[in-house]
Chains A and B, each alone.
Chain A
Amino acid sequence: MNERRQSSPVTAVFVVVSLVFLFVPLLVVVLFSFNSIGSLSLPFRGFSLRWYRQVFESPVFRSSLRSSAIVATATAVSTLILGTLAAYALSRARTRWRAPLALVLFLPLTLPGLFIGLSLLVLFGEAEVSLSLTTVAIAHLVYVMPYFLLIAVAALQRLDPALEEAGADLGANGWLVFTRVTLPQVWPVLMGATFLAFALSFDEFVITFFVIGPESTLPMFIFSSLRRTVDPSINAISTLLLAITLALFAGSFYLTLRGGRRSVIAVTGETGSA
């Protein structure tokens, strides 16, 4: 309530309708994952966990879950390393190479996954690389990098340059300034962005479809159950996938928000108890 708030009943209606539209279909899936009979139709017959039991007893589900976790971890860790360095370069470099560099790093954001997936499949075919979870992680890094950079570059640009200059003037070399002055200020935001990278990779399907080998990830598993249709346990699998990605998102949101506040403190020069 810190600023003048105007009433805007028409746009408020749009907000309510949008939220209902966005959440009701997902809530339906979650609700019916607890339905005791295997049908999506009303009325609801009573609470049961049998679909979850069935899902966790399925060895295919468990191996897909493991594959997804492996790929997402590899993607998140490598995004954190390569992305942090690249974000630092983008936020600090002031040469004419900056614009083409940004173009190459951000372009995957606007290219449909269909084309990224197909062109990687062609490349792996020409290079005679056999498809596996490694090729999936390679592709995911391309897909996730721009999202990580969006957050990381914004956080780095918010920092007060005086702190880094003070470090340099006190004799610290570039690496020391980066690790001792820059990184501690943006670390929570970078962790939030890493959570985001993990979540994006965990849920990726469009590109994965083309570059995956004999293994299956969780979205691939859902895709094949969607094709087989009428398997009610898909509600439970979907709910699990929703829960995992939303938990990761909440973690990311919290870290980014906290990090944002920390860098505000750094800029205003407040220190101490906060």
Chain B
Amino acid sequence: MAADQGGRLRLVASAPGPDVGPGSAGGDPIGATGRSTDRRRRPLFAAVPALVWMLLFFVLPLVVFAIYSVLTAGLYEVSTPLTLDPYRDAITDPLNRTLARNSVIVGVATATVCIAVGLPVAYWLRFAAGRWRLAVLFLITASMFASYLVRIYAWRSVLGSEGIINSGLVSLGLIDEPLSFLLYNRGAVVIALVHIFLPFVVLVLYAAMTPMSDGLLEAGRDLGAGSVMLWRRVVMPIMAAPCWNAFVFVFILSAADYVTPQFLGGREGTTLGVRIQAAFISVGNWPLAAATSFLMLGGFVLLHLAGSFVLRRLRLNDLRLAT
């Protein structure tokens, strides 16, 4: 009984943050006894196989790839004189600039639409779904697992000149010729990418909303706030940080996507990812592809840091919800 009580207490104590854990039993920050140090350290060895795998096949490849970005380019080969030329070429190349702009537009548009749609859906799931919650959660999670290539193909089928929208409109007699502006542009790329990332964004924002209590919104309403005010003053401040994280995640993955633009983008919708892939595979300029990749990664890191800085200045980065 006493042991059970102790376990319960510790469980409660460990609830607020994952850093205070079972082994450390409250106030033993340095592991005063040998046994408790042992108990705390030993589990770490279990991670060694996975860690070695990640170092060998994730970290090491990136290091080698980074070295490639400062080597002299040959045709499908690299040679030793170290140089920053690949970076200079990647930055000054006018095509790269156009494609980088396209990547940013596609990334921002995709991430913005995902958040703008995902947030109300997550809100509904948390506060208004009632008995529909599990069913809708199931459907949205299921759609996350729909094959990536099949989605791209599906949108090509829906938007194409022989596709269901055009053939439908023609057979209804509303148009005489297929609308050609539906496919092979940036918009089509964004639609398919939103289709790919929306389920993920909904689930992440829903998870971020679960700690929000009903009482929080009721308190706002009792104080006379309408729906708009409630969103502006209660929901948005709490959701700012999760929304930003989801935004960066979707931005990175959609700006660097190289498959969707190939099939749906046409000339206007081509992005930097397509160029990197082509520079590596079909042009054979490996340092250029590597330098462009690392410039892109640098941009992603800067974006993330800038956003976190702003959130911290606005004191929105670490809201604790009293429930």
Residues of A with Cβ closer than 8 Å to B?
1, 3-8, 10-12, 14-15, 17-19, 21-26, 28-29, 32, 39-43, 81-83, 85-86, 88-90, 92-95, 97-98, 101, 104-105, 107-108, 110-112, 114-116, 118-123, 126, 138-139, 141-142, 145, 157, 160-166, 168-169, 174, 199, 203, 205-206, 219, 222-223, 226, 234-235, 238, 241-242, 245-246, 248-250, 253, 267, 269
Contacts and interface: CB of A to CB of B under 8 A. Distances in A.
Contact of B142 (A1, A6, A118, A250): A250
A242 B146 CA distance: 6
A12 B57 contact: no
A39 B142 CA distance: 27
A223 B149 CA distance: 7
Given A26-B150, A206-B148, 9 more contacts: A1-B131, A11-B123, A11-B124, A19-B140, A28-B154, A82-B53, A205-B148, A238-B150, A245-B147
Most A Cβ at <10 Å: residue of B41, B43, B157: B43
B146 A245 contact: yes
A168 B42 CA distance: 13
Given A21-B195, A40-B162, A114-B277, A1 B130 contact: yes
B150 A29 contact: yes
A8 B124 contact: yes
Most chain B CB inside 10 Å of its own CB: which residue of A22, A138, A174, A241 = A22
B256 A142 contact: no
B65 A119 contact: yes
A220 to B, nearest CB: 9
Contacts of B7: 160-163, 165-166
B53 A142 contact: yes
Contacts of A115: 62, 65, 256, 293, 297
B244 interface: no
Nearest to B129: A5
Which interface residue of B42, B141, B149, B286 has the most chain A CB atoms within 10 A? B149
A249 B141 contact: yes
Interface string B148-176: 11111111111010111011100100000
B198 interface: yes
A164 B140 contact: no
A114 to B, nearest CB: 5
A245 B141 CA distance: 12
Given A28-B158, A142-B58, A89 B44 contact: yes
A104 B162 contact: no
Nearest to B162: A41
B255 to A, nearest CB: 8
A3 B127 CA distance: 9
B4 interface: yes
30 contacts: A3-B214, A6-B217, A11-B120, A15-B124, A15-B136, A18-B198, A41-B167, A42-B164, A88-B46, A95-B44, A105-B51, A110-B249, A112-B256, A112-B273, A114-B258, A114-B277, A115-B62, A119-B65, A122-B61, A122-B68, A122-B286, A161-B22, A162-B3, A163-B7, A199-B145, A205-B149, A219-B147, A238-B149, A238-B154, A249-B142
Interface string B253-291: 100111100010000000001001100100000100110
B108 interface: no
A157 to B, nearest CB: 6
B46 A94 contact: no
Contacts of B6: 162
Contacts of A157: 18
A49 to B, nearest CB: 19
A112 B257 contact: yes
Contacts of A161: 7, 10-11, 14, 21-23
Interface string B106-136: 0000000000010011011101111100001
A94 B257 CA distance: 37
Contacts of B22: 92, 161, 164-165
A227 to B, nearest CB: 8
Contacts of A253: 138, 141-142
A222 B153 contact: yes
A83 B45 CA distance: 13
B252 interface: yes
Contacts of A245: 145-147
Give the 5 A-B CB pairs with smallest separation, nearest first. A162-B7, A161-B22, A41-B167, A112-B256, A89-B47
Contacts of A39: 162
B157 A18 contact: no
Contacts of B199: 22
Most buried by B among A14, A160, A248: A14
Contacts of A10: 120, 227
Contact of A22 (B147, B195, B277): B195
